[in-house]
Amino acid sequence: MSAIFSRRVDELIGRDGDCTRVTALLDERRFVTLSGAPGVGKTRLALEIGASLAGGLRDGARFIDFTPLTSLDLVPLTIANALGIDHRADHSITDAILTWTRRKQMLVIFDNCDRVRATIASLASRIIAAAPDVRVLVTSRTPLVEDSSECVYHVPPLSLPPVGEPLDAAGALGYGAVRLFVTAAREAHPAFTLDDGNLDTVVRICRDLEGIPLAICLAAPRLKTLMLEPLSMALHHRLNDRSGSNAPATTKRQTSRHLIDWSYDLLSRSDRCVFRRLAVFAGGASQSAAVAVCRGDDLSSEDTAAALHSLNEKALLVALDDRAERHYALLDATHRFALEKLEEADERFAIERRHAHYFAGHAERLERLWETMPTLTWYDAVDADLDNFRAAHDWSMRSVREAAQGARICAALRDYYRRGAAANEWRRRIDRAIDALEHEQNDDLLARLWLAMAVVGSGSNLFALQRRGARMALEYAERIGNDMIAASALVELAGGEFMNPDFDFRRALERAERIFAERGKGRMLARAHFTHARSLYSLTKDWARAADLYAPALEYSRETGDEHLVAVSMINLAEATFLGGHGDPQGAIRLCEAALPYCRRSSNWRLAATGLMNIATYRLALGDLPGARASLSQSLTIAGEHGLNQVFETSGFCGGYLAALSGDHTLALMLMHHGENFYCCDNETAIEPTERWLRDETLALARAFLSEEAIADLLAQSLPEAEFRAALVALCAHEDAEVRA
List residues bridging with 110 in a β-sheet: 64, 138
Using one digit for the tens of pLDDT, what is the confidence trace for 182-212? 999 998 888 899 998 999 999 999 999 999 9
Q: What is the 3-state secondary structure (H, E, C) of 645-687?
A: HHHHHHHHHHHHHHHHHCCCHHHHHHHHHHHHHHHHHCCCCCC
What pLDDT, on a 0 to 100 scale, did the predictor assign at position 253? 54
Pairing of strands 31-35, 151-154: parallel
Those residues whose C-beta lies under 8 Å from the C-beta of residue 494, and which sit 6 or more positions away, are 503, 505, 508, 509, 512, 531, 532, 535
Alpha carbon separation from 69 to 73, 213, 496 (Å, rounded): 9, 25, 33
Alpha helix (H) residue ranges in 60-175: 75-83, 93-101, 117-130, 169-172
List residues bridging with 329 in a β-sheet: 318
Confidence check: pLDDT of 147 > 70: no
Q: pLDDT tier at 83 (50, 70, 90 boundaries)?
A: confident
Confidence check: pLDDT of 248 > 60: no
Give which of 253, 228, 226 is closest to 239, Cα–Cα. Answer: 253
Mean pLDDT (whole number) for 594-602: 91
What pLDDT, on a 0 to 100 scale, did the predictor assign at position 144? 87
Amino acid at 257: R
Lowest mean pLDDT among 11-20, 152-161, 592-601, 708-717: 708-717
Mean pLDDT (whole number) for 541-567: 88
User: H or E segment at 103?
Assistant: none
**Which letter, b or e, does each residue of 529-542 get, where b requires 16 or more Cβ atoms within 10 Å of its Cβ?**
bbbbbbbbbbbeeb
Give which of 433, 425, 508 is closest to 459, Cα–Cα. Answer: 425
Alpha carbon separation from 71 to 1, 95, 440 (Å, rounded): 20, 19, 28
Using one digit for the tens of pLDDT, what is the confidence trace for 346-355? 999 999 999 9
Mean pLDDT of the chain: 88
Using one digit for the tens of pLDDT, what is the confidence trace for 512-551? 999 999 999 999 999 999 999 888 877 777 888 888 889 8
What pLDDT, on a 0 to 100 scale, did the predictor assign at position 425? 82
User: pLDDT exceeding 90 applies to what percent of the chain?
Assistant: 58
Using one digit for the tens of pLDDT, what is the confidence trace for 320-358? 766 678 899 998 888 989 999 999 999 999 999 999 999
What pLDDT, on a 0 to 100 scale, did the predictor assign at position 699? 93
What pLDDT, on a 0 to 100 scale, did the predictor assign at position 226? 83
Residue 403 C-alpha from the chain's centroid: 26
| Whole-number Å distance between alpha carbons of 574 and 591 | 6
Mean pLDDT (whole number) for 224-241: 85
Pairing of strands 318-320, 31-35: unpaired
